[in-house]
Amino acid sequence: MSAARFQEGEGKAPAVSRGSFLGRLLSGGLTTFAFKRLLISIPLVFVMTFVMFIVVNSQGSSRFDTFENDPAADPQIIEMEKRRMHIYDPLLVRYFYWLRGVMFDIRFSPDRRFVATFEDNDLSRGDDKYKFGGVELRRPADGVGGEYAVPGPAGVPLGVLGETAALRSMLDPKEIEALELTAVGTGPESSPESAPPEGLALSVVTGSGATPMAFQAAAGKPSVLVVDIDELNRVSAIGELREIRLTSAKPGRAIVKAELLKRRVWQETYPGTAKKRTIQLLFRGTPGESAELGALKSPYAMKLVEGQDWKTDWNAVQKKVDDSYSAARKEWETGGKKSTEPEKPEIDRVDFDALEFDAHAIQGGPLPVSLWILHGDREKPQAAKIVDLKLGEEEQTFEVPFATLPKDLDLRQIRGLRFTCDAPGRAEFDDFRLRVAGSPFRIGLPNFGTSWDKKKGVLDLIGEKVKNTISLNIFSLIFVWLFALPIGVYGAVRQHSTSERTLSFVTFLGMSLPSFFLAILIVFLVSLTYDIPQNSAFSWLREILPIAGRTSQDHSAMGKLGQMWDIAKHTILPVTVGVLGGVGGLQRVLRGTMLEERRKLYLTTAMAKGLPPFKVLYKHALRNAIIPFVASSGSLLSGMMAGSAFTEIVFDYPGIGRQMLESLLSYDMPVVMANLLIAGLLLVVGNLLADIGLGLVDPRVSVEG
């Protein structure tokens, strides 16, 4: 297309004088041209992403097909995940959610915004042992449970749990969160024979004795014991774990079910700063009795709270901070002890005015739940009851304005939250957010959402890979030019010579081999060097270049220079594949145009004038011949990105091409979309650069464009 443009202009004298490259770049024509291109391309990329979004997400629920056949997967949880991934929203709505995140996360919200709250690692620690970091997939342990006649104090071993290896694997704290035992009396309440045994206890038997854990079973209704795996491990760490026994003080009959609560942490980052978390709390207890759940600490709240400045005189604080900064700076300037320049501290002046969360009961609803705020001393905080909630099965949004807090509660001393409930049940709390009064309009960083697979921000996941792909392609492009330019010129000058034929044959091979096959062949060649005996003269050839990854395993142990060399070594082969694939086409273009230029009359004139052939060739002919060469570099880029994707896959190189494949195989749509968009934008930028380059080498473009 670009070539057509030149041919139209051929024969005309260049309309602009040849200024410096920079001058032409800055002069109106070229900039307008580039800007126009950009103006058309960027919206088109987004239109394309819309089409692709519809296409890609049309199979969004395929992700769950595997779960649906899995008996261990709780349909309720799958349903919840589907809701969370907006599977049921219309595609268009989902697209606009996505687009909003991508377009610098622009948000309008009426007069409020939310700040990040509870983070993952804080949930699994802390003094609340019945907290679960998210959704549990309940898996009944095989062979555990069933009807046990509990005869008396002697105790009944819990089935297969007597085996040490099974116990150990069961107690793996990485996998399992807790052991939940449910005891239900088998008969009517009145009948004493079938009442559940009293004084049930769980005993952990180790080499050095048994440790009982209390377990109350009441008649007619299930009683639940949830034992934290950490606690079990602590107990069993004293001696070698032998078995876990269920004992009772008085005989009775009950069906005892043991279930392992699997640790499954789901963390979701939604567009925007509000980090949403789902917290499931399991309530136990008997009616009328308040069972405490412990505190739920928020580092963010803590940070804000601890930074002595909650609802204080901001001017005074600012002054204090400024003073200490200027003192530190003075000390640094006068050559004091501090060797680094102090940074000016920024104070985040956020004022919270409310706490918001969504909640609903999963089991045993409607659940009467109370929200407490823990305040005061950090080690032994006091609890203040804030509000009583009635949790229904339907999800509800609750709002606790801080204005309603008791007057004597010192906000600076808030340590955490606590939920209590005096009835057994399970509740889910979702989307905790601290509401902030402030501007309704907000612009953030582009946000591609959360990977469904890795439960991690998409940008975190692929940021590094984008860089790797860009560097791989830039290096390939540079080397393609470095090789194609001389080979193309040489091909035109020494047409039909043996060396020219050999060169074009080699580049032709590279062009015709599929890039993934070329990569495989190179892997094959390198693998052949493994056969070279250790002590032969060619032993240096053994494993000369690494064929997988971007860094070695001991990369972090290397020095700065060593690391660079390590990365370079890993990049050589992928770049080689790219170069072999790219040189052929480009050098053919250059050779063709060079041959054409050489036949033209102005070259004959130049030669007749007595110019040295070198000058004629490089100053006259090449300058004209290089134009299609630069023009085709833009389209080369598209092919190269495809090629590099295959190369990444074969060489196990961490780039977006490989990521694209991986996320596609697991139907991880946010990552797929991010990869598509980024690849599109990279191509647009590449084409733009090629256009600018074209404008630099060809003055006609800037005029016509």
> Is 261 exposed, middle or buried (CB count within 10 Å of its CB: 0-12, 13-18, 19+)?
buried
Residue 298 or 450: the one with the smaller Cβ distance to other proteins is 450
Q: What angle do CA 565, 569, 571 make, to 5 degrees?
A: 115
Residue 121 or 527: the one with the smaller Cβ distance to other proteins is 527
Contact 417, 305 (CB under 8 A): no
Report, in Å, the least distance between residue 584 CB and other proteins.
Answer: 8
Report, in Å, the least distance between residue 624 CB and other proteins.
Answer: 20
In 395-539, which ranges are continuous DSSP H helix? 458-493, 498-512, 515-528
Contact 347, 310 (CB under 8 A): no
What does the CA dihedral 329, 332, 337, 341 come to, rounded to 10 degrees? 80
When computed from its CA atoms, the radius of gyration of the chain, rounded to whole angstroms, is 35
* Side-chain-side CA neighbours of residue 618 (13 Å): 6
Q: What angle do CA 501, 505, 509 make, to 5 degrees?
A: 175
Report, in Å, the least distance between residue 81 CB and other proteins.
Answer: 18
Contact 453, 666 (CB under 8 A): yes
Residue 167 or 673: the one with the smaller Cβ distance to other proteins is 673
Report, in Å, the least distance between residue 577 CB and other proteins.
Answer: 13
Report, in Å, the least distance between residue 100 CB and other proteins.
Answer: 21
Residue 52 or 218: the one with the smaller Cβ distance to other proteins is 52
Q: Taking the mean position of all CA atoms in its chain, how far away is CA 259?
A: 32
Residue 528 or 564: the one with the smaller Cβ distance to other proteins is 528
Residues that bind other proteins (CB under 8 A): 1, 4, 40-41, 44-45, 47-48, 51-52, 55-56, 58-59, 62, 65, 504-505, 507-508, 512-514, 516-517, 520-521, 523-524, 527-528, 530, 547, 588, 592, 638-639, 641-642, 645-646, 649-650, 657, 660-661, 664-665, 667, 669, 672, 675-676, 679-680, 682-684
Dihedral sign for Cα 162, 163, 167, 170, please. Answer: negative
Report d(CA 95, CA 456) in Å as an integer: 20
The structure tokens 């595997």 sit at: 66
Report d(CA 591, CA 572) in Å as an integer: 27
Contact 231, 130 (CB under 8 A): no
Report, in Å, the least distance between residue 600 CB and other proteins.
Answer: 17
Residue 96 or 508: the one with the smaller Cβ distance to other proteins is 508
Residue 592 or 705: the one with the smaller Cβ distance to other proteins is 592
Residue 507 or 571: the one with the smaller Cβ distance to other proteins is 507
Report, in Å, the least distance between residue 681 CB and other proteins.
Answer: 9
Report d(CA 163, CA 142) in Å as an integer: 13
Residue 51 or 445: the one with the smaller Cβ distance to other proteins is 51
**Residue 621 DSSP one-character state:** I
Residue 485 or 683: the one with the smaller Cβ distance to other proteins is 683
Report CA-CA distances (Å) from 449 to 462, 470, 565, 664.
Answer: 12, 22, 35, 16
DSSP string, 85-146: TTTTS-HHHHHHHHHHHHTTT-EE-TT-EEE----HHHHHSSS-TTEESS---EEEPTT--S
Report d(CA 222, CA 216) in Å as an integer: 10
The structure tokens 């060649």 sit at: 525
Report, in Å, the least distance between residue 310 CB and other proteins.
Answer: 48
